[in-house]
Homo-oligomer: A and B are copies of this chain.
C-alpha cells in the first residue's frame, strides 16, 4: 500500500460506469488514500452507475453540466464544503461530439454541433480552471489533469472533430497551466491515452481494428484504463510537482513508433490471401 494520496482531496469529473477511465482513476485514488467528490451530467447520472462508485469510495455526487459555469461553481463550492477545504487535484474526463454521433463526416460538419463539441470537450476545461482559480479552490502544488488523445497531433480516420477538440484542450492546458503555475503553483497537464474500450469508446465505428493496430504497434501494448489510473495518481501525488503544461503520452510506446514488426507482419498478411477459394 503506497498511500500516495494520503490526505489529498479532489474532484473527479466524468465517471460513468466501471469501464470509464475516470471510474478506474477514482478507485485508484481511493485506494491511495484520497477523498473526493464525483461529478457528471444529470443524464449520465441517470444512465450510469455512479451511485455504486460513490458508495464504494465514500464519495458524494454533485451533478453538473460542465459547459455551465454556474454548475461548475456549485461543484467546487459543494466539494470544498464536503471535503472540508480546498482540493488538491481535479480530473477532467469529458468529451462528446454530436457530429461523431450523427455520423456527419468532417468535410460536412454541422457548425452548431462543432461549437458544442468544442464547448463540452475543451472549453469546459477552461471553465473548470477559471472557476477554480476565481474561487481559489485548489491548494498550492495542486494538480489538474485532463484526458486527451493522440488525434490532437495526428489525424485518425473517423475521429472527426474530436481531434480538433483535443488539440484545443491541450492548448488550454498550456495556456492556463502558465497562469495557474505562476500565480498559485498549481500544475495542469493532459494525458494522451491509448484508445480505450470504454462505453463511450465502444460506440466509435472501427475502434476494434484501430485498437488491434495500436496494440501491435506499441511495444508494451495498449495502455488500459487500469494502467491509466496508476499513472494518474502519480500525477496527483507530490512526487511530480514540477511537471506542468505537458501532454504526457501513456500509450505503451505508440506515439514514438513509425512501424513495428508485429504490425507489419499483420499488414503484409493482407496481401497474401488472394486465392479464389477464399471467403
Contact = CB atoms under 8 A, between A and B. Distances in A.
Nearest to A251: B242
A199 interface: no
A264 B206 contact: yes
A176 to B, nearest CB: 7
A214 B268 CA distance: 13
Contact of A227 (B111, B212, B241, B269): B241
A112 B267 CA distance: 35
* Copies of this chain, tallied across the complex: 4
A248 interface: yes
Interface string A164-184: 101110111011111111110
A81 interface: no
A86 interface: no
Given A155-B245, A242-B231, A258-B151, A111 B133 contact: no
A56 interface: no
Interface stretch (A17-25, A43-51, A57-65, A123-131): A123-131
20 contacts: A108-B130, A109-B126, A114-B123, A115-B118, A152-B171, A155-B174, A155-B175, A181-B218, A181-B253, A182-B261, A194-B242, A206-B264, A209-B264, A209-B268, A209-B271, A220-B241, A227-B242, A242-B251, A245-B257, A278-B278
Given A167-B171, A210-B259, A231-B242, 20 more contacts: A107-B130, A107-B179, A107-B183, A118-B168, A150-B258, A153-B256, A154-B257, A157-B178, A161-B175, A163-B175, A164-B175, A181-B218, A209-B268, A231-B239, A231-B243, A245-B255, A268-B270, A270-B273, A273-B278, A275-B279
Interface of A: 1-4, 69, 105-109, 111, 114-115, 118-119, 123, 126-127, 129-130, 133-134, 150-161, 163-164, 166-168, 170-172, 174-183, 185, 187, 194, 206, 209-210, 212-213, 218-223, 227-228, 230-231, 233-234, 237-246, 248-253, 255-262, 264, 266-273, 275, 277-279
